Amino acid sequence: MFVDGIRLQLAASAPADGDGPLLPLRRMAGRTTLLLGIALALTACGRAPTEDILRGGVPARTNLHEATRLPQQAVRTVNRNDAGWRLIYHPERAPNGADQHAASALCGLERKRPVRIEVQPLAEPFDDPGARKIDIICA
């Protein structure tokens, strides 16, 4: 009876021609809610944060650009290779001794110390003028 009473009140407050211009909006809102619910359910089924580990025991989710401890605008590329780490950066945008600081930070991720820093030639030096490529060997 109480539920019927609510329905009667809603029916009494509705316009005589049904919902008038509000009917399409209510249908669209219902569909939008349904689509958002489906999207949320699908994203919940996705893969969990990665637990992959790089060589040397570094979690794959590590932000290597931040790990170098160099200014963000100085770092171009950081990657792990067979010998250790490769870093491409702009020396003029980095503090003095940036290669030593980055080497210590990156080798520290593996709980090692830097043994050698080798300057490598850039394959296309005109693609990124002023950039410097170094290989960092850790032990």
Selection from 112, 92, 95, 90 nearest residue 103 by Cα: 112
Q: For the segment 4-41, what is each residue's pLDDT rounded down to a tens digit?
A: 555 555 555 555 555 555 556 666 777 788 888 887 77
* Structure-token pair, residue 124: 């296309």
pLDDT of residue 1: 46
Instruction: Give the burial string for 97-117 (b: 16+ CB within 10 Å, else e).
Output: ebbeebbbbbbebbeeebeeb
Bridge-partner residues for 117, per DSSP? 136
What percent of the chain shows pLDDT beyond 70? 71
Q: Is the pLDDT of residue 45 over 90?
A: no
Q: Is the pLDDT of residue 95 over 80?
A: yes
